[in-house]
Structure 1
């Protein structure tokens, strides 16, 4: 599978750090930060630069230079102080650390080169997992391989050519993808947050840039979610479906990173035994 060629250049990593800081600053109100509301009209949503600088214990000049990409070597202590002031936790705090390391040059190759070739042993594992739906996706959520139940779980995706089989694209642009997951809004928010997590440390990926550009043009719902700068690493959980063949079902899933593949992940679904959900899941497709 070839990467598409993007038409715009990637932003410098320092700028990406600044964009992330600005987006997160706009989402914290003075009241949430323990500051008095003050009087007069606030032209800036969320915290002002000087308010965030004060909360983090840095000068306004230093913070302004950091946000504008003119300061590219913040210390871990400064980054942690900013994270506390911005109320960042978990993945969001870790993303801020990674962006700071990229800006400083301390993290120069955060991820190995992606490979779309799925190992033969992984393909055999996919088949052995049937009747559980299972598939392998790339770092940017391109579908690389699936067993029969895994293919049946995502109707219509396989009608697209291989280079377009991206799960985020499917969610926003395929008519089945827009109704398959319930609730759709929560599912797409998580998917976009994952793309942000990937893009924060891989901003110059032609494939990612092309995908984001297409979704910004074709989906009115994508842009506002993209600009929130939420980040979320893929993990296990629960998903509810309204499947055109088997109807409503809720499945749990696990996500396993495959070593030495440049970020490939295997996703495996299952249902509680002896439940209507299991009956629906088993009706997706016969085991191969």
Structure 2
């Protein structure tokens, strides 16, 4: 699916959530078969022509003004993250070079690898925007899985999340994590430019995971770079860990993700015990 098709599906899904009454239009009992707003109703409420909106939804116009995008977003009651996603789908971003199938063989700087190792016993990893794992430290491997033992094409967090049954044991709230990660991938797709990697992941997961198909059809989008995830490890039990994501200034295409436990919490005690256990031969 090319980006214009992604735009069309996204806008259709958002139109389906809003009724004519929501935007002050009369509801016509005319046997309508369209859920939510028709294109002509959205165009009327947003103050643009039906022809222009139709072409915009189909990806057949150039850059769209902020005024029009704001009007459409307001009618559709988009969240701030959905508004950002809409802008990126409509107006795009600087084109990235097309990639060959599979993840690019990104090699982080030696200093970044050393920093990752020195963060131990804090679980940490380096990943790309589409969650290809570039490097992971010892405690990251203990907490999740050994991505470095996988073929390069399989070292991806969302791929592991949906296709490896072990991931459902690692994440105590697997479905919540899967929904959030799917929403991140949709945002990455909107920012992809000419890169084929996000679409390759979507196509593989669509073919192999019914759960992914279900979550992807919801058209959720997120750009959140922090939060709390609950991990389960058979040796210590369940831990609620805070995660933060940072983009190194010199390597803006990479994200450093770290997991920490609140000071003095049971989760800190368990994470400390797990780190000590992992050091025991």
User: Given the two structures, how large is their TM-score scaled by the length of structure 1?
Assistant: 0.85
**Structural RMSD (CA):** 2.5
Is 1:14–1:72's contact at 8 Å kept on the other side of the alignment? no
CA distance in 1 between partners of 2:232 and 2:55 (Å): 49
* Aligned pairs for 1:163-182 within 5 A: 163-182=153-172
Other structure's SS at 2:59 match: coil
Measured after TM superposition, the shift of residue 148 of structure 1 is 0.9
Counterpart residue number, 2:197 = 207
In the superposition, relative to structure 1, how do residues 285 and 101 fare at CA in structure 2: closer, same or farther (>3 Å)?
same
Q: 1:129-186 deviations in whole A, cap 9, x for unaligned? A: 1211111111110111111111111136454323202110111111111232232221
SS at match of 1:44: coil
Q: Which structure has more helix as a fraction of its residues?
A: 2
* Preserved CA contact (<8 Å) 1:110 1:201: no
1:271 aligns with 2:261: yes
Is 1:189 the counterpart of 2:175? The answer is no
Indicate how the Cα distance of structure 1 residues 14 and 211 shifts in structure 2: closer, same or farther if over 3 A, else same: closer
The reply on whether 1:148 has 2:134 as its aligned counterpart is no
Which segments of structure 1 move beyond 6 Å, counting only runs of 4 or more?
110-115
Which aligned pairs between 1:97-246 and structure 2 lie closer than 5 A?
97-102=87-92, 107-109=93-95, 116-155=106-145, 157-202=147-192, 204-246=194-236
Relative to structure 2, which stretch is displaced further, 113-122 or 131-140?
113-122
Deviation at 1:36? 4.5
2:75 matched residue in structure 1? 85
CA distance in 2, matches of 1:93, 1:101: 12
Q: Partner residue of 1:42?
A: 32
Is 1:72 matched with 2:62? Answer: yes
Shift of 1:237: 0.8
Corresponding residue number in structure 2 for 1:5: none
In the aligned structure 2, how far is the partner of 1:65 from the partner of 1:33? 22
Deviation at 1:123? 1.3
Q: Indicate the structure whose relative CO is greater, using CA pairs within 8 Å and at least 6 residues apart.
A: 1
Q: What are structure 2's unaligned runs of at least 5 residues? A: none
2:254 pairs with 1:254: no
Q: Report the Cα distance in structure 2 between the residues aligned to 1:116 and 1:20, rounded to whole angstroms.
A: 31
Task: Provide structure 1 residue ranges, at least 5 long, that are not aligned to the other structure.
Answer: 1-9
TM-score (norm 2): 0.87
Does the CA contact (< 8 Å) of 2:159 and 2:205 recur in 1?
A: yes
